[in-house]
Structure formats: C-alpha cells, structure tokens
Amino acid sequence: MCGIIGFTGRRGCAGFLLEGLERLEYRGYDSAGVAFARPQGLVLEKAVGRIANLRTVVEKSREDAFAGIGHTRWATHGCPSIENAHPHCDAARTVAVVHNGIIENYGLLKEQLQRQGVRFVSETDTEVIAQLLGFYYDTDMPTTLRRVLPMLEGSYALGVLDARAPGTLYCARRRSPLLIGQGEGEMYIASDVAALVEHTRTVYPMEEDTIAALTPQGMQVCTLEGRAVCLAPMHITWDAAAARKGGYAHFMLKEICEQPQVLQDTLEHYADLARGCIRREAMPFTPEQARALSEVTIAACGTAYHACMMGKALLEKLAGVRTTAEIASEYRYAPVCDGAPENAVFLAVSQSGETADTLAALRKAKAQGMRTIAMSNVIGASIAREAGTVVYTLAGPEIAVASTKAYLAQVLLFELIALDLAHLRGRLTDAQLKEALAELGRLPEQAAAILARREVVESFARRNRACHDVFFIGRLMDYTTSLEAALKLKEVSYLHSEAYAAGELKHGTIALIDEETLVVGIATQPEILEKTYANLQEVHARGAYLLLIGTPPRTLVAPDCEVWSMEGASWRTAPLLATIYAQLLAYYTALQHGCDIDKPRNLAKSVTVE
C-alpha cells in the first residue's frame, strides 16, 4: 500500500525520485526515504511525515548519483520513524531495499540472522530482506536474489541497489504490483504509472516471481530459476495533465466534477446510443454464454464492493440472473463447496486492478473451474491479466484516495452488462433496450446539472458543521447508495457515519437517534418510496434533522427537511445521481473540518496487502 520509485540513467536522479514520490503521495504514507548509489557508496536519506520534509534533507545531497530508489511507507511493522522508514540496508551498508507487501515469516528469518550475529536497527519486515541479501551475497545481485527470494513467505515488490554495481537497479515481484518504465537512455521502476507518465508512455508490468536487472541500456528479466523472460509492453493512453489538479482545490473535487465526461466516455465505448444498441464486441458475454449463464458471483473490497452490490441488484432485476455479491477478503477464506455450478461466472472488481484480497478471490474462483471476468480501471493490471476476460472502466487516473468517478463508472458498466444480458436472454425487446439506453444517455447532462448546484451542498455542510453523527438510510438499491455515502463521509471527514437498511432502524439502531443526529434518506426507487418516507418520519419524531436525496414526497416529512432532487431521473439513473450528491456532501463536510481530503489518515489508494 506504499509507493516505490526507482531510476538508473546518465543524469542525477535525486529530482526524479522526489518528483515520483510526490506523484505517489495519494497512495497514503507516513514516512519517506531515498537511497542513492554514488561513487563513494550508498547514501540514505529519510524523513517522517510529508515528502516536503524529505525534500529538505535530500536537497543537501550532491546530485552525482545516477541510480537510486525511493519509497513512501505506510506503517505495518513498527511505528512511523526514521529507523522504520525505507530504504533499509544490510549490516555492511552495501545493499539498499525498498519494499511493498508483507513478509509473513520475517520473525523466524530475523531470529535466524540474529543468531548469526546480524544486528537489526528497525522493527520492519523489510529490513530482513536487506539483511538476507547482504548475508547471503553470492557473486552478483541477480544470483543472490534467486537464492534469497524463495526464503520469503508473503508478498513483495522490491527495488534494490548494490554498492558493488552502482549503475544498476534491481527489482523483483511476487503478489504485489511493480512496473518497469523505459525512457531515452534511462530505466525506471514504480508501483504506479502516475509516477512515470511525465517521462515515458511505455511501461512493462512485471510478471509474478520474476527478477530484473536494469541499466541505462535496457533490462534483463528472468524467473527465480534463471530462465529469461520477455515482458509485454503496455502503452499509457492518458497524458500527464490528467494527473494534475487542473485548478481545483483538491483532486477529489476535480474527480467528482469529471464524472459527466466519465459517464459519457463509458456509454460511448459500450453502447451505440444513436442506434440504441449495445456494442457486441465490447461486452464480456456472447449470446450463447448469456443464455447458458446460471449464476454470477461478484467480489470486491470497499467502494468497489458497493458497486458489486449495485451489480447484483441490476443483474437480478434486469437479467434475471442469480447473483451473489461477496466481500473479497471474506470470500477468499470461506469454505469451498464441491465444484462450481455449470455455466457459473466469477467477476472481480477493482479500481486499481491490484487489490490483494480481490486478486486472491479471483484465483480461488479460477481454481474451482469458474469462468472469470475482471472489471478494472487500469489496463494491464494484475487482475486484468489473470482473468479470462476483462472489461475496463474509462474513468481515467483517480488520484484522490477516496474513490468517486471510478465507482460511478463501475455501476454504469454493471447497468450496461445487465441490459445486454437481459436483451440476449429475451427479457428485453429491441425497443425496450433502446429506451433504456436513451435513459442512460441523459446521465451526463443530469450529472452536470447536479454539479452546477454544488453550492447548495456546500451551504448545507457549512450549516451542519457541528454535527458528529450521521445516519444514511434507504431500501434496496438506495441502501447500497447509503452504504457508499456513509463510507465516503467517514473516509474524508472522519465523522461517525453509518448506513442502515431503512426498515432495520426499529430493530435497535433507532435508540441512537436524538436531536444532534443528522439522518440522510436516499429515496429513488419508486416501489419503496412511501416506506422510506415513513422511516424518515419515525426518526424525525425522535428529534433527528433530516436530509432527503431523491424523489420529494407530496407532503414533506418534516417542515425543515432539506430535499436534493434529480429531475427527470429514472430508477436506473437516480442511484448514480444520488451518489454524486453524497460525494459532494462528503467533500464539503471534510473541507469544513479542515481535513487532508485527498490523503485521508490511515488510508491508502491501492490496498495490495491483506
């Protein structure tokens, strides 16, 4: 869940490393450091806190290092400190290592080295790797890596410097993402393409259990057994400007405001709106597969899991396909029933395409013999490469830790897949499909209309700044929107916010409602509107202040109830539009509380460890 950057070339690399680390700040971190291979030997510089603190230290170093590695650390083993910050060295200070992932058997390996007289200076699992590479050094670093890496249990993406080969950058990967970039007379490594897009459009995702030696002339890649590997290149399609704020105060607000274009791009890629049909070549199911489909299991984590819950509702309601939405971190450890049902499909959803639990769930489904589909926002990500079929959301780079536009793109893609399946399975006529696509075609304009009213949301957040308990309630798809709304608010504002199926309030939770509570009702689904209104009246009778997002009732449930509506929205499109309101509420509430909106405490963008 940290950031890795590395460089080898014919120019000083300090500036490159610091710039790369700044582009990886959104992933979440509490300390940072760099290591340089200079003619005099390895040099390490570290700082606790933001990259600005590290930059102050590094600027004192000479710009005569042509190979280096850098890292932003999110603490797992040991508290944030200079000693625990990466890079880590061996006892002789000849090897420096940066590491993403977790080494599960580091305690045993550390004890073995300590019995051999090796002295450790940190609490981290990463230092074990550096000490092992120094202790077992044999001939050269690739040989040593092939000896040491099989000792490690767990996951790793590694950047390594060796003082004996100061112009070479080494890297290795197992179950944690790492990219190799190629420039003019220089090579790079990074954990995220955002760190490299200013310098190259050609990157090579490292394959599982591979080692690479990079020099300014190129790269040599091999397996742990020493067999040569040729990596497949990936072309970066978005430009560097997409990863900048573009005049917005925060990336989160920028990405919320980009959603009309994201919705438009997704619709145009997967549907021909003029003809009112789905683009057959873009869909993950053939007509034969659609008709034979018996059930779908969807798995993801966090916000993507809420998209899965929406996907379940849409696939069942529109296509009549039995669907289960699973939390990937639970699914991967759940008991395995005998054999997968015939014609069953497993669909893994991940914005980054690298979420560790979702990737493990995908592998489990493959082992059971299920057909696998991936939904990812990152071309060439691990989940995309390992699934049998992949569909991409077209959200572009999402920099803020709290996901916004990627979530809307996922839900819209689920709607398009559900409509396609419903049509192929005979549940929608050509005319009904055309009508449904016309509804979706109005989404970008409707989303833009909500964004044009964002000062209303900002005013509401300002007036309710003193509120510390927020409950979101809804039914069916509105309950899922409530879950996402509550998660977004707690992610960026740190306020206590919870979501409940509206009908469950009376089974205990209503005891928490009082005059200091804000209750947000989501009401977009016609068949249960009156039920939701009744639940809002129940909490109002107990003193709660109310906000309604959705279809306003004929008679307000309370005189002071604020209503944010979506004119012209259907049951299909209203949940997406309600989500935009919820995202704006989270953003402006966090702004009122002075929070670090793009980089919330304790969170990381891509969760690549358990």
pLDDT tens, residue by residue, 488-498: 999 999 999 99
Task: List all residues 6 or more positions away from 138 whose beta carbon is below 8 Å from its beta carbon.
Answer: 144, 147
Evaluate if residue 587 carries a pLDDT over 60: yes
Alpha-carbon gap, residue 407 to 388, rounded angstroms: 23
Highest mean pLDDT among 173-177, 380-384, 387-391: 387-391
Q: Which one-letter amino acid corresponds to residue 246?
A: G
Evaluate if residue 168 carries a pLDDT over 70: yes
Alpha-carbon gap, residue 228 to 6, rounded angstroms: 22
Evaluate if residue 314 carries a pLDDT over 60: yes
pLDDT at 90: 94
Q: Does 60 participate in catalysis according to the annotation?
A: no
pLDDT at 604: 61
Query: Which position has the higher pLDDT, 80 or 282?
Result: 282
Alpha-carbon gap, residue 477 to 574, rounded angstroms: 10
pLDDT at 111: 94
Cα radius of gyration (the chain)? 26
Angle 477-493/574-592 helices, nearest 10 degrees? 20
For residue 225, give the DSSP letter.
Answer: T
534-539 average pLDDT score:
81
Q: Does 2 participate in catalysis according to the annotation?
A: yes
Cα Dmax for the chain: 81
Tell me the pLDDT band of 131, cut-offs 50, 70 and 90: very high
Evaluate if residue 608 carries a pLDDT over 60: no
Q: How distant, in Å, are the alpha carbons of 487, 553, 580 from that of 547?
A: 17, 13, 15
pLDDT tens, residue by residue, 189-229: 998 888 888 888 889 989 989 999 999 999 999 999 999 99
Tell me the pLDDT band of 445, cut-offs 50, 70 and 90: very high
Q: Which one-letter amino acid corresponds to residue 328?
A: A
Q: Are 585 and 485 in contact (CB under 8 A)?
A: yes
- Output the average pLDDT for the chain: 89
Tell me the pLDDT band of 62, cut-offs 50, 70 and 90: low
Alpha-carbon gap, residue 596 to 333, rounded angstroms: 34
Nearest to 474 by CA among 536, 413, 428: 536
* Residue of 2, 13, 257, 308 marked active site: 2
240-256 average pLDDT score:
82
Q: 160-195: string of b/e by CB count within 10 Å (b at 16+)?
A: bbbbebbebbbbbbbbbbbbbbbbeebbbbbbbbbb
Evaluate if residue 399 carries a pLDDT over 90: no
DSSP 3-state of 404: coil
Q: CA neighbours within 13 Å on the CB side: how many for 454? A: 18
SS (H, E, C) 437-476: HHHHHCHHHHHHHHHCCHHHHHHHHHHCCCCCEEEEEECC
* Residue of 46, 254, 312, 605 marked active site: 605
pLDDT at 318: 96
Evaluate if residue 309 carries a pLDDT over 60: yes
Q: What is the enclosing helix (H) or strand (E) of 109? A: helix 106-115
Evaluate if residue 130 carries a pLDDT over 60: yes
Q: Are 207 and 222 in contact (CB under 8 A)?
A: no
Evaluate if residue 320 carries a pLDDT over 60: yes
Alpha helices in 425-573 (DSSP H): 430-441, 443-451, 454-463, 477-493, 529-540
Q: How distant, in Å, are the alpha carbons of 32, 115, 120, 607 from that of 81?
A: 10, 26, 15, 22
Nearest to 323 by CA among 350, 288, 347, 287: 347
pLDDT at 26: 66
pTM (predicted TM-score): 0.81
Query: Which position has the higher pLDDT, 151 or 20?
Result: 151
- The values of phi and psi at residue 168, to 5°, are -115, 140
410-438 average pLDDT score:
96
